[in-house]
A and B are shown apart, each in its own frame.
Chain A
């Protein structure tokens, strides 16, 4: 248990470092802009009517305060951190005066729900089929699946999303192609709402699973076909151990270890996929929020979403990393 405690401490330190560097990066980028967000907001707000110069000056002061752009650079930096630390990103401009944190909290469950289900499903299916394909190399069905996976794997998410959209939106319209739940269904813990959420998540989830699966399939197949030639597997086969048992407890188990690391890493990458997927299917998650914020020029919302996604992804990776030693005892000693 001592070794696990050391591992835990190391990972927690790393987590803190990642979040620190990540948030600093967003600070640096957002402060290196040639565009002054305060002036831009003022011109956007004043374009509707005549505002007196005094009112504009007051507005400028309060906006500078709001965006953490008043005072010396050091003061700005410290105030940025003190606000981020408590999750206060100020009010959103496009949805004034709703706080950014409220908008994010509203969108987050949608994204997390969609991503967790899609990622885990893709991982399970890809590894299972890939493992089988690596073990039973002569099987024609599995060989054909390998070709499909090879074609799907390098494909960007939105291509599959567009194809699904055309298939189910125009050619065979059985599934809803937009939104997170039906317009007529009231949000709450009712059966109708749960069903509506489920049916609306099918297409976006399918596009994520299809693309995600390809990578896991190919990775697992390569790992398994390497392990099959190891001495201990050959020995077990010669010794007459049940083939099913060899596959599950000798081959798959050992091959899964690197795949779990991959799972952690893919959580960072799949966030990218979710943004486009959400945009294509009009899903009310964090990705759509970010895209809308950029188009609306909503400075505080963009900053908020970026910071939150950095923290969310590093937390997910941390959780997977902490579970990791439980799967593979070899990792503990380092």
Chain B
């Protein structure tokens, strides 16, 4: 495990840069636990102060220190992404493995549901959710809804691997040695699928964070919990750009862009690692 990471850091510039960026973001969000002000409170510092030695990243028109506000927002945004990714992994793994291994009618039924979820435009549905829940819409509820909607594409990917695993000899051997389908799926096939699960997790986090920010910018989430999206929402509400309070918008946008790029680089690096051909050509060999 450590050897793989060391090799990746040495030979794969994307992985190294991605790790660095992600570590910086995670570090910032951990810092939020040492914040001198509660993240939900407003008017704790003087409003509209440009970046200075006292307030490194400036303060907002609502009287919040942008640095500490952003740290808390990053923490919540990251947790949100992780929660959605973890929950939807359970669904996509179950559907993918069962569908790929069972085949036949089970596969056909599961895949028609799956394809439906791939095609349906999720954003209007999320907006509809907010519309009917309104004040009872919370961070956790949104994460559960998004997890329930955003598993389909990855399930298809996992299914394709499970289908090829099914034809391998070791699967036959497991069947003859009397393992149940459930045992084969969890003990034999799951380990093979895990590398893909890692890279889809990162992509799913990017997707869910992007959706959360998009919904928040329009004011369609719980805007009182500090997240990157709700920070942008409040900045927009106070017309920060027109008022010249650019630091209110610029820092969270830079932070979320770094987060996107970091996770994306990690995902591509992992994808490449899974495909040995491209790994060889990167290390100077011929594929």
Contact = CB atoms under 8 A, between A and B. Distances in A.
Interface in B111-165: 112-113, 115-116, 118-125, 127-134, 136
A153 B264 contact: yes
Interface stretch (B77-85, B167-175, B185-193, B211-219): B211-219
A305 interface: yes
Interface string A274-298: 0110010000000000110011000
Contacts of B122: 268, 272
What band does the interface of chain A fall in when counting residues whose beta carbon is under 8 Å from B? 35 or more
Interface stretch (A29-37, A70-78, A84-92, A126-134): A29-37
B4 interface: no
A34 B136 contact: yes
A154 B206 contact: yes
Contacts, number: 122
B127 A294 contact: yes
A316 to B, nearest CB: 9
Contacts of B263: 154
A26 B129 CA distance: 9
Contact of B119 (A29, A33, A268, A279): A268
Main secondary structure of the interface of A (DSSP, over half): helix
Contact of B132 (A25, A29, A162, A295): A29
Interface string A57-96: 0000000000000000000000000000000000000000
A35 B132 contact: yes
Nearest to B246: A166
A302 interface: yes
A265 B214 contact: no
B112 A17 contact: yes
Contacts of B261: 150-151, 154
A158 interface: yes
Interface residues of B, number: 44
Given A155-B257, A156-B210, A314-B120, A306 B217 contact: no
Contact of B120 (A14, A25, A32, A34): A25
Contacts of A226: 277-278
Nearest to B261: A154
B220 interface: yes
B8 interface: no
A225 B281 CA distance: 11
B257 A159 contact: yes
B9 interface: no
Interface string B72-113: 000000000000000000000000000000000000000011
B260 A155 contact: yes
A309 B128 contact: no
B132 A229 contact: no
Of listed B127, B213, B257, B261, residue having the most chain A CB within 10 A: B127
B253 interface: yes
Interface string B210-238: 11011001111000000000000000000
A152 to B, nearest CB: 10
Contacts of B46: none
Contact of A302 (B127, B214, B217, B256): B127
Nearest to B126: A272
Contacts of B194: none
Contacts of A310: 120-121, 124-125
Nearest to B149: A25
A17 B108 CA distance: 13
Interface of A: 14, 17-18, 21-22, 25-26, 29-30, 32-35, 150-151, 153-159, 162, 166, 225-226, 229, 265, 268, 271-272, 275-276, 279, 290-291, 294-295, 299, 302-303, 305-306, 309-310, 313-314, 317
Given A150-B265, A162-B241, A313-B120, 15 more contacts: A22-B116, A32-B132, A33-B133, A34-B132, A153-B264, A156-B214, A162-B253, A268-B121, A272-B122, A275-B123, A275-B218, A276-B217, A279-B218, A294-B218, A295-B219
